[in-house]
Amino acid sequence: MAIQATTYEVDSSIQQAFSNFMATQPIRPTIIWDNMGFNPANDAVPVSSDDAQVSGKGWILFELLHAYGEIAALGTTMNRHIGVLGASVYFETNRGRIRSTAKIADQILNFYQTVDIPGVRKSSPRKVAIGSDRQGWWQVNVLANFEYDIIR
């Protein structure tokens, strides 16, 4: 596995790869990044879609959830960072469970399964249906484990 310079650089490369990938997909919801202000009542907009079955408002909250770290090799300054990539797909309730959220989630699974990000290893991609939040949004989480090494 390639060794990276800083955690910030790795986070940025993952976010950029996800953004670039989603821009080429048939369904292109707004992507909200961690710690970015977003009010669904005011900020949710219709998704851009080339798929006639998908219409309505929705978005993706994409987060890099660092969970664990360890020294990767004794006697070195190589450090391994381990976490979870989280993409929460939200779509209008009663408009997207079968078609919209499933199709968007599949696009994200495709990213996790096929896009190579130098120095980052992804594993265990999965889709977890959450359901209605009772605020008018249906949620599906798409997750994958990740790890990478840096030298300090």
Number of domains in the chain: 1
Range of lowest pLDDT (19-23, 49-53, 77-81, 93-97): 93-97
CATH of the domain at 146: 3.30.2000.20
Torsion of CA 24, 45, 49, 117, to 10 degrees: 20
Confidence of residue 75 (pLDDT cuts 50, 70, 90): confident
Q: What is the pTM of this model?
A: 0.91
Boundaries of domain holding 112 = 3-151
For residues 81 and 75, what is the distance between their CA atoms, to the nearest angstrom? 17
